[in-house]
Amino acid sequence: MNTTWSRFNITSVTLGFAFLYLPIVLLVIFSFNESKLVTVWGGFSTKWYVSLFQNQALIDAAWVTIRVGLISATVATVLGTLAALALTRYTRFRGRVLFSGMVFAPLVMPEVITGLSLLLLFVAVGLDRGFFTLTLAHISFTMCFVAVVVQSRLVTFDRSLEEAAMDLGASPVATFFQVTLPVILPAIVSGWMLAFTLSLDDLVTSSFTSGPGATTLPMKIYSQVRLGVTPEINAACTILIAIVATGVIIASVVNKRREVQRLRDEQAALRG
Amino acid sequence: MAGATLSAPTATGAALAQAAPQQATSFTGKLVIIIPYVFLLVFFLVPFFIVFKISLSQTAIAMPPYTPALDFSGGISGIVGQLRELNFDNYLFLTEDPLYLNAYITSVIVAGISTLLTLLVGYPIAYGMSRAPATLRPTLLMLVILPFWTSFLIRVYAWIGILKPEGLLNQLLMSTGIISEPLIILNTYTAIFIGIVYSYLPFMVLPLYSALEKMDYSLVEAAQDLGCPPTTAFWKITFPMSLPGVLAGCLLVFIPAVGEFVIPDLLGGSQTLMIGRTLWNEFNANRDWPVSSAVAVLLLLVLIVPIVIFQHAQARAQEQGR
């Protein structure tokens, strides 16, 4: 029974994936549409990509988005990793319940609440809205996702490795950088990628916390979508999808290679 | 989150963390806790108190557009005086105008129905994946996660072209002769349901899959060997054992869906009423910050119970993983 994959199961998985992928595939197909009508096929054309690269406002927005993403993902990864360490390593400190609540609640918090509350904070302390506040906002909501990803790796981490290093005289800090960090690095890298894509995608929090001169790509796309569906937006979306898909596929292939290498090393070590 | 939030509003992160003698004894150990703790306090917890504070203040034509409430610069006597002047007008306003109450109720109902639909769509997928050959499972898992990495906005946008009256779905249905008049789906609640089910499906499938994959199927086989029909075996064994996954998946869909903005705005149109959009409009179009803060506070109150359940489930899963 364990090896047979029944027809019912194959059908439900196939239909499920069709549902997940068909809208995206259609969007990509119609970005190559000659006609301006998004839903009527008028022949193959790449003209929307050409006009996209002549749209300076869109390019500026993309540049802002990438810079915010790179900075916020990097800071969020450091903070999220620290939070994950605090949660898994220090099982008892005062206010731990509050701390874990503050790590988990943002994962499900509706974005309108996060966005509004951050904006009111920035106004209360007199920070001008713009690139800086945008980046701070992105750090604060993405670090929790990093914390959860890193934490799930730390939970299964073999602590005896660290104990061995410390028995041999390594300081806690040296132990972390030489023993713990290399082991949890794949989780940290996927945490960074998750933070980067979340930052890249974000619309609601960004709209609340950004100011003039710091318009991100989703904000730009959103304002154009409200005016109507155009093939140019399809083209912009297709490029974004291509970038993300390439990144994810490369990362998973690299991860798999590393995993295979690790298993091989372990077997070699066992054989002596 | 709720209880903790309310019980420790004034303590600073540093004081909390320094009083942790048990394990974090070294200076670097304390820093590991203090740095993210202070950051989360400042950028997650404190903003909520500011929202609450502003929800009690008056609207004013100024920048920022409200009169300050609870200004602590006047010392204790100043605070006492201000507490007397606090007003709950914004909350009264929300209860008086049926628009807001309707928006809250509609949001909860829409999110509830969407969550059930997502469960109905997601369960067979997760079940099918968990029964797939072991070599195929990592690939299937990645295929479920991949759409999650593509922009939420883009995935919602993709449905506009499909659902609109002259869109692809109507073209298909009319060319095959199933319908003669285009179906009006865009700008209705149906479109919101489709949007939520589609966008949140990975959040449902992943916890369901991890619960079902861990399950010991020899139990089902034993039941069937003893003459139990497959459907009964499913309801008596498989489904109860997947309940933690069902709970996690439903909360991951329900909570954000209640406050959802992008889906109701792009697919639901102006005729549908959901609280996330109401808050956004109150803030951006009407520029009424105190009222939108009150809307946010009440939305948070609606969601606090599911959020606490979610957090407990997360903490329990973490304990078990240890």
What is the fold of A62-216? MetI-like fold (1.10.3720)
A240 touches chain B (CB under 8 A): yes
For A157-161, B56-60, B170-174, which range has the lowest pLDDT when averaged over its residues?
B56-60
In a domain? residue B61:
no
In a domain? residue B115:
yes
In a domain? residue B64:
no
For A225-234, B93-102, B136-145, which range has the lowest pLDDT when averaged over its residues?
A225-234
B296 touches chain A (CB under 8 A): yes
DSSP code string of A12-65: HHHHHHHHHHHHHHHHHHHTTBSSSSTTS---B--HHHHHHTT-HHHHHHHHHH
Q: Which amino acid is at A190?
A: S
B36, B157, B259 member nearest A110 (Cβ)? B259
Q: Would you say residue B6 has pLDDT above 50?
A: no
Q: Would you say residue A143 has pLDDT above 90?
A: yes
Which of chain A's residues have a Cβ under 8 Å away from the Cβ of B40?
A: 83, 99, 102-103, 140, 143
Could you give the ipTM of this predicted complex? Answer: 0.85
What does the pLDDT read at residue B147? 82
In a domain? residue B192:
yes
In a domain? residue B77:
no
Q: Would you say residue A32 has pLDDT above 60?
A: yes
What does the pLDDT read at residue B4? 35
A17 touches chain B (CB under 8 A): yes
Cβ-based neighbours of A135, under 8 Å, separated by 6 or more: A68, A71, A72, A75
Which of chain B's residues have a Cβ under 8 Å away from the Cβ of A108?
A: 251-252, 255-256, 307, 310
Q: Within 13 Å of residue A26, how many CA atoms lie on the same side as its CB?
A: 22
Q: Would you say residue B7 has pLDDT above 60?
A: no
B255–A108 C-beta distance less than 8 A: yes
Residue carrying structure tokens 């072991």: B134
CA distance readout (Å), A263 to A42, A256, A258, A269? 52, 11, 9, 10
Which of chain A's residues have a Cβ under 8 Å away from the Cβ of B215?
A: none
Percentage of chain A beyond pLDDT 90 is 30
For A67-81, B247-261, B302-316, which range has the lowest pLDDT when averaged over its residues?
B302-316
Domain range holding B166? 2-55+88-319
Which of chain B's residues have a Cβ under 8 Å away from the Cβ of A113?
A: 51, 259, 296, 299-300
**What is the pTM assigned to this prediction?**
0.83
User: What element of type H or E holds B303?
Assistant: helix B289-321
Are A84 and A147 contacting, i.e. CB atoms less than 8 angstroms apart? yes
What does the pLDDT read at residue B9? 34
> What average pLDDT does range A65-70 have in this prediction?
94
> What average pLDDT does range A171-197 have in this prediction?
89
The angle subtended at Cα B268 by Cα B262 and Cα B270, nearest 5°, is 100
In a domain? residue B158:
yes
Compute how many other C-beta atoms are within 10 angstroms of the C-beta atom of residue B108. 17
Q: Does residue A5 sit in helix, strand or coil?
A: coil
From the list B204, B220, B213, the residue with the least C-alpha distance to B134 is B213
What does the pLDDT read at residue B40? 93
For B56-60, B130-134, B249-253, which range has the lowest pLDDT when averaged over its residues?
B56-60
For residue A128, give the chain B residue with the closest CA.
B64
What does the pLDDT read at residue B261? 92
Q: Average per-residue pLDDT in chain B?
A: 81
CB contacts under 8 A, A 83-142 vs B, are 83, 85-87, 89-95, 97-113, 116-118, 120-121, 123-124, 136-137, 139-140
Residue carrying structure tokens 């394990």: B23
Confidence band (pLDDT; 50, 70, 90) for B321? low
**The CATH number of the domain where B192 resides is what?**
1.10.3720.10
Which of chain B's residues have a Cβ under 8 Å away from the Cβ of A203?
A: 152-153, 262
Q: Does residue B257 sit in helix, strand or coil?
A: helix
In a domain? residue B295:
yes
Confidence band (pLDDT; 50, 70, 90) for A192? very high
Q: Does residue B172 sit in helix, strand or coil?
A: helix
What does the pLDDT read at residue B125? 94
In a domain? residue B62:
no
A12, A101, A221 member nearest B153 (Cβ)? A221
What does the pLDDT read at residue B74? 52
> What average pLDDT does range B234-238 have in this prediction?
89
Domain residue limits, chain A: 62-216
DSSP code string of A106-125: HHHS-HHHHHHHHHHHHHHT
Which of chain A's residues have a Cβ under 8 Å away from the Cβ of B263?
A: none
Q: Would you say residue B23 has pLDDT above 70?
A: no
Confidence band (pLDDT; 50, 70, 90) for B253? very high
Taking phi first (over 0 means left), then psi (-120 to 50 degrees means alpha), and beta for anything else, what does residue B226 get? alpha
Q: Average per-residue pLDDT in chain A?
A: 87
Q: How far is B187 from chain A (nearest CA, A)?
A: 13
A83-126 pLDDT per residue, tens: 999 988 887 788 888 898 898 888 888 899 999 999 999 988 88
Domain count, chain B: 1
CB contacts under 8 A, A 42-71 vs B, are none
